[in-house]
Amino acid sequence: MLLVLMLAVFLGFELIVRVPSTLHTPLMSGSNAISGITIIGALLAVETSGQGGTLSLVLGVCAVFFATINVVGGYAVTNRMLMMFSKKEVGQ
Say what the pTM is: 0.62
What's the rounded mean pLDDT across residues 52-74?
85
Predicted local distance difference test score (pLDDT) of residue 43: 85
Average pLDDT over residues 9-19: 87
How sure is the predictor about 91, in pLDDT bands with cuts at 50, 70 and 90? low
Give, in order, the Cα–Cα distances in Å from 70 to each of 4, 20, 36, 62: 23, 23, 9, 12
Q: How many CB atoms lie within 10 A of CB 7?
A: 10
Structural domains in the chain (count): 1
71 lies in some domain: yes
CA distance 61 to 43: 8
Higher pLDDT, 88 or 42: 42
Q: For residues 83 and 47, is the Cβ–Cβ distance under 8 A?
A: no
- Model confidence at 59, in pLDDT bands (50, 70, 90)? confident
Of the candidates 27, 29, 63, 72, the residue with the CA atom closest to the CA atom of residue 44:
63
**Residue 42 lies in domain:** 25-85
* Model confidence at 46: pLDDT above 70: yes
Mean pLDDT of 34-46: 84
Residue 43: inside a domain, yes or no? yes
Angle at 3 between CA 14 and CA 69, to 5 degrees: 65
Q: Does any domain span residue 70?
A: yes
